[in-house]
Structure formats: C-alpha cells, structure tokens
Amino acid sequence: MLTPLQPQTDVNAARAPGNGRVDYLVVAQMIDPGAKVLDVGCGDGELLRLLAETRNVDGRGIELSREGVNESVAKGLAVVQGDADTDLGDYPDDAFDYVILSQTLQATRHPRQVLEHMLRIGRHAVVSFPNFGHWRIRLQIMFGGHMPRTDNLSYSWYDTPNIHFCTIKDFRQLCEQTGAKMEKAVALNAWGSRLRLNAPWWFWNLFGEQAVFLLSRKD
C-alpha cells in the first residue's frame, strides 16, 4: 500500500525534478524502478526527469509543442516531437513497461484510441487527468451557468486545448469498454492530498480534483 502524500511546501520544490508536482509524485510511485517508460505528452520533460532521477527509469517522451520538445532534449531527455493521436501507431507492441499519459487525455482527439494504443505498446498504462465531476465544476455549471474555469483548468471555452473532458466515472466506463484492468487508482483533492482509499467511487467523483489510474491489459 502506498504511503499518504503530504502537500509540498518546501521552497526548493519548484527547482526539484518534477517541480514538486504532487500528481507527478503519485505517478512516480506507480512505476517500478528501472522500468522502460514512454511519457505521451511529456511537456517540458519534468516528469521524465523526476522518473530518471528517483526511479532510474529508461524514459522516452512524445510532445506536441516545439518549445516543450526542445526544452526536454536540451535537458538530455529522449523526447521526440509528435502527436499522441497520430504517432502512437508507429510503436511496436510491448515496447515499454509503462506508457504514461499525464494531464493529456482531455487534449487528445481520440482518447479511446490513445488508451488502446497505450495498452498495446506498454504492459501498463498510467493515466492522470482532471476530474470534470468535481463539485466545484458542477457548481459552476449549475449556478454560474458558464463553462467551468479553475486554477488547474484556466482556459476559456473558446481557446482551450482540452476538448475531451471526462469524470472519474466516465473514465472507469472507458476502461471497462476497452478491456483495461484497473490495478491502482488515486484521487487527489484540491490541496493535493489523497482521498480516503476506502471511500466509495461517488465520493471520489465528487471530491477528487485529479485522478491517477494504473491500468493493465485484461488477459
């Protein structure tokens, strides 16, 4: 069982690998040391750097933005410019131990295909995403009557890259439809603390601001 995480308050946290992001730490704890990892949508490469330094992984990345790629490569990471929606097909079966999709699922055009490719390329998939079922988001639509905006999801509806939001409940259904087996799941509240493990799913779906799932293929 994983130990509960404390919110990062260290002033040096921003300079640590992963910039001290709690969701990165949750992901990292799901990865076996020394594993071969592909991070799809790796941004500036901070999660890969964290995994390399704390889990000794053999890490690769794909990133859409040119700035993110160039920053990652300059950090010495094996990152290629590419698109999760079109380029995962190039990777052979079972090429990785883990394929990670960190805060990127909602920005893909075909989330289901992406998930299926992840489980083909990797023995495990790790998916983290913002939960659109969180109570604050529900309240914004219900009482504000406008598309939700939060600190983590600060885009206006008309210029957001996030085109496929889902809730924890939605994602669990997608896992069932794609034949993915849920091995671990973690929900974090707005302060980056874990929700109780024995809480029911409806509780997670209401109070989890982010979720991280470790999946594997159903045999």
Residue ranges that bind other proteins, judged by CB under 8 A: 58, 60, 66, 69-70, 72-82, 87, 90-92, 95
Give least dist CB 35 to other proteins, A: 14
Which is closer to other proteins, CB of 16 or CB of 95? 95
Terminal CA-CA length for the chain: 24
Which is closer to other proteins, CB of 76 or CB of 179? 76
Which is closer to other proteins, CB of 8 or CB of 70? 70
Return the DSSP state at 92.
P
Closest CA to 211 of 180, 177, 170: 170
* Pairing of β 180-188 and β 210-217: antiparallel
Closest CA to 68 of 42, 31, 104, 102: 42
Give least dist CB 91 to other proteins, A: 6
Residues present in the chain in total:
219
Which is closer to other proteins, CB of 60 or CB of 124? 60
Which is closer to other proteins, CB of 100 or CB of 206? 100
Give least dist CB 65 to other proteins, A: 11
Give least dist CB 95 to other proteins, A: 5
Closest CA to 82 of 69, 67, 99: 69
Q: What angle do CA 20, 21, 23 make, to 5 degrees?
A: 140
Give least dist CB 82 to other proteins, A: 8
For 208, the token pair is: 């989890």
